[in-house]
Structure 1
Amino acid sequence: MSWLTEYVRPKIRTLLGRKEAPDNLWHQCPSCQQMIFHTELAAAKKVCPHCGHHMRATAQDRLAWTFDDGSFTKIELPKAVPDPLKFRDQKRYADRLKDARDRTKQDDAILVAHGTVGGANTVVAAMSFEFMGGSMGSAVGEGLVAAARLAVLQNAPLIVYTASGGARMQEGAISLMQMPRSIIASQMVKEAGLPYIVVLTDPTTGGVTASFAMLGDIQIAEPGTLIGFAGARVIEQTVREKLPEGFQRAEYLHQHGIIDMVVKRGELTETLARLISLATANKKAA
């Protein structure tokens, strides 16, 4: 068997000129379990064509989908202290950061870029759930402040895509301090008379929900997005009541006035462009 596997099969492949097929040609929808060809999924912006389930997307995807023609310029964000508490649990925090950076090719859980949306200069900050669950540490705080400053400098709206499990426990109180810092960042944009738009994506929880994620002039969410502070089980144990069906999902929050609209991903870019145009109409006229 070893001789057939290691010698004969490679020889046959060489003669026929066949190549190994990539392993990621097909993706299974986590909702309906249907298999989707990778090009079809990419064309649908990672939305299942069978059931409409919105799969999680990367920060890089968000930037490419939002800006006109997918063209944008990323900015280099200020460097945060990598391991301020020298934290270690089952693994050193420094090692976790290195692993996440190697896997995602990002410095931390946020990307900031500028370009045009519907022809209007816009700054976009996108959080990366794939980077340590999108947890908010000092680097994310620095990124949000940098995004706000850039928006004010360019006299441009700020769009923030949230995707996070909350504060980064490995940074302790330093992580919690990013909540007021992120609020100050959002306030900088508002005081300059510029639109601050938040797009809540799955999931948005914890300290991110308790700070800048819920302070947008306009609050948008993708269908089915989980939005909340504490987990549903914790809330049920605290209030000792059964929670309503769909509690903490985008549609439930929209029905109860917590967010302004639920927008499908395929319509999101057009919606953002329209909102920016409406929000800046008076400024253009002046």
Structure 2
Amino acid sequence: MAMPTVIVIASEQGEVRRALTACVTGLGFGVLVAPNVTSSGWPGFTAELANCQLALVDLSLEADSDTTDHWLHSLGDMPTLYLDSPLPKAEDQRAHWLRRIALKVASMLAEVTIPGGVSNDQVWLLMGSAGGPEAVAEFISALPGQCPVGFLYGQHINPGFESHLVKTLNGRNGFNARAAKTGARLQRGDIVIAPSDQRLTILANDALLIEAHPWPGRYHPSLDGIAVEFNRRPRHLGGVIVFSGMGNDGAAAARLYASKGGTVWTQAPDSCVVNAMPEAVRASGCASYSATPSELAAKLAETVGRA
């Protein structure tokens, strides 16, 4: 079982510690607060560092040099984000300051997990609504073993249902299904399930940032929102497949993706439980291929085999 991610927070300012703690815990991580030099907690703090993956060190104000030296010596080679600008007083500026930190944390954690920048793996976006889980399960099962591709999966679901999708898809045909987490990276062999009630951002190094803000609009998650994020990836490193579902969520962003040279496929309408979503994409003229889930799997295997 993977160890939980723990981030060290080192600041002599109580207000900064509280703001950073709220930011880090909001991203789903544990926190270890560094003691000051007069504290008797240094031995325990040093021992706990073995469970930490990243440090945030506040250098925005003149800090006690002995305390700073203790922090830096104890952290050693741990990846560290140095904060050299003060915590803003205005609420909107503070929110912007904390989001910049969250973006950097997500990017740095991805580098800790998979060093070396963008992986250049083939990653495809799967989107579905009513009837989508069954179609996606059939699609994954029909792929050849060790297919060199990964997936980001956006599915209209109620909050908390992500764990059911993970359980349904994990291990199927050798794929590792998991819920999207901040600092994780899109890569081959994974099926990453987008959260229904939290916003997902894809960073330049394929790292994910998950924030406790609802998706805009009536759908959860917003497939258009996820697809707009997916547009950040190079078009030759994947594509979009729209499965069974009601409504037209995802159609606008799929059209945008195709207009920039990306590949868009849909499930054949007559094989869907509800065909409104694939039909909306097909009606826009951006789908280059439509077929049953098993046929889509065969087409994908052929496509990535030629890549």
Report the TM-score when normalising by structure 2: 0.31
Q: Between Structure 1 and Structure 2, which shows a larger proportion of helix residues? A: 1
**TM-score (normalised: structure 1):** 0.33
